Amino acid sequence: MADSFWSDADRHLVRYIGAGSFVREIIDRAEGSFVFTADGRRLLDFTSGQMSAILGHSHPAVVATIQQQAATLDHLFSGMLSRPVVELARRLAGSLPAPLDKVLLLTTGAESNEAAIRMAKLVTGRHEIISFARSWHGMTQAAASATYSSGRKGYGPAAPGNFAIPTPNAYRPDFTLADGELDWRRQLEFSFELFDAQSVGSLAACIVEPILSSGGVIDLPPGYLAALRDKVHERGGLLILDEAQTGLCRTGEWYGFERDGVVPDILTLSKTLGAGLPLAAVVTSPQIEHAAHERGFLFFTTHVSDPLVAAVGNTVLDVLEADRLDEQAAHLGAYLRKGLREIGQRHPVVGDVRGRGLLVGLELVSDRESKRPADALGAAVTGRCLELGLHMNVVQLPGMGGVFRIAPALTSTHAELDLGLEILDQALADVVPQFTPWRQ
């Protein structure tokens, strides 16, 4: 049966992972922090699905909501409203600082970023968009045009007016202070000098993540986000924060921007909002929403304001609040980073451990002094982890080593984190002796 499965998959499925390939396991079911294969293997999921299943897989409250809502009201004409939709909008607004009161419910992160960029362009009457050179905001037109980490080549022109600025990477600084630390203020000044030289004076928005996830789990330095907001506002643009992966308790706070005290003009949520189901949101102020409406804002999709996933979103908020998962993520994240640093003491190929809450990055290098990338090592360790029962995701970008993007469920236990740390430690011990710096 497995042979026919892979024969059918290879024959009929479009390969959509770039140069990568499908994980060669047939997944039959998932529960909590684990996925289970057709041949009976149990894999600890250190990615929460696609960085989304913050309550673990098949959470009983989510399952019950889906069963009840699907039997009652699952889908409507897009111009109709239901109680779950209005309730979720009210509760999201209540969880956010003023003036973020207006909510649009969609399906994916790309779609929410598409809507946010479209809204910003309409409201400002401008078209230029700034994002980071390590950014990932989605695969639809405007979102893909603001994505620079991968996927740009071969598809023709991107949307006009898109600009990349350097990513403030403290582990690999390009502008440095006398002590060698990242001089993000000088880097930011340089970024906008470059932008101003190329801009036609039509900045609509800057879209960034508080922690770049696909960009290598790069946390913006404290103070950076406020300074970036000021630069954008000075030029008449809006600040869009993409919290697909940082929103809803993942970082140890309800929203990643809370640490910096910066309220975006437009906020996008996705992955974590549906805890694995296709649910996303755009949240903005009444003033921006009013201006957009006056100008005829149009984002009419098949699954806008769908009641089934909105009901799930309400259940996700229920569990996050009742179980105080923001506090749990902060506690477990500190525990996980401590364990990863202890692994780093045993394995010199661990160059850096970073992140907030349960969004953690571990970067592998050939040697710590030069920080020379170790791409092949990252891929090999990922494969060995899978053999040992741990699903890991490694991000490999030019100029960086393999960066493990570790995002366990917020419902994880200490024992599950210990198991993941044990397997990663063993995988490094098994694989590293096969590699030497000159073979990378």
What is the average pLDDT value for the chain, to the nearest integer? 96
Q: Which of 102, 126, 136, 231 is catalytic?
A: 136
Q: Which of 245, 328, 396, 440 is catalytic?
A: 245
Q: Which of 114, 242, 265, 326 is catalytic?
A: 242
pLDDT at residue 439 is higher than 60: no
Let me know whether 118 and 200 are in one domain: yes
Let me know whether 228 and 109 are in one domain: yes
pLDDT at 437: 52
pLDDT at 440: 45
CA-atom Rg of the chain in angstroms: 22
Instruction: Please say if 245 is a catalytic residue.
Output: yes
Let me know whether 395 and 408 are in one domain: yes
Let me know whether 313 and 342 are in one domain: no
Domain hosting 418: range is 2-58+324-439
pLDDT tens across 369-388, in order? Answer: 999 988 889 999 999 999 99
User: Please, is 166 exposed, middle or buried when counting C-beta atoms within 10 Å of its C-beta (0-12, 13-18, 19+)?
Assistant: middle
pLDDT at residue 438 is higher than 60: no
- Cα–Cα distance list, 46 to 317, 348, 361, 420, 436 (Å): 22, 22, 12, 8, 27
CA distance between the termini of the chain: 38
pLDDT at residue 411 is higher than 50: yes
**Is 336 within the bounds of a domain?**
yes
Q: Which of 209, 306, 326, 363 is catalytic?
A: 209
Q: Taking the C-alpha atoms of 305, 309, 315 and 320 in order, what is their torsion angle to the nearest 10 degrees? A: -90
Instruction: Please say if 136 is a catalytic residue.
Output: yes
**Is 63 within the bounds of a domain?**
no
**Is 258 within the bounds of a domain?**
yes
% the chain with pLDDT above 90:
94
Let me know whether 318 and 292 are in one domain: yes
Let me know whether 312 and 424 are in one domain: no
d(CA 241, CA 66) in angstroms, rounded, equals 29
pLDDT at 380: 95
Residues 6+ apart with CB under 8 A from 421: 336, 339, 340, 343
Instruction: Please say if 405 is a catalytic residue.
Output: yes
pLDDT tens across 294-342, in order? Answer: 999 999 999 999 999 999 999 999 999 999 999 999 999 999 999 999 9
d(CA 24, CA 309) in angstroms, rounded, equals 30
Instruction: Please say if 338 is a catalytic residue.
Output: no
pLDDT tens across 142-170, in order? Answer: 999 999 999 999 999 999 999 999 999 99
CATH number at residue 273: 3.40.640.10
Q: Which of 118, 229, 250, 271 is catalytic?
A: 271
pLDDT at residue 19 is higher than 90: no
pTM above 0.95, yes or no: yes
pLDDT at 374: 87
Q: Which of 322, 344, 365 is the endpoint of a domain? A: 322
Mean pLDDT of the region 53-82: 98
pLDDT tens across 163-213, in order? Answer: 999 999 999 999 999 999 999 999 999 999 999 999 999 999 999 999 999
**Of residues 75 and 17, more confidently modeled:** 75
Give the three-class secondary structure for 387.
helix
Q: Which of 118, 229, 384, 405 is catalytic?
A: 405
Evaluate the omega torsion of the peptide bond into residue 99 and state whether it is cis, within 30 degrees of 0. Answer: yes
pLDDT tens across 347-369, in order? Answer: 999 999 999 999 999 999 998 99
* Strand bridging mode 238-242 / 203-208: parallel
Total structural domains in the chain? 2
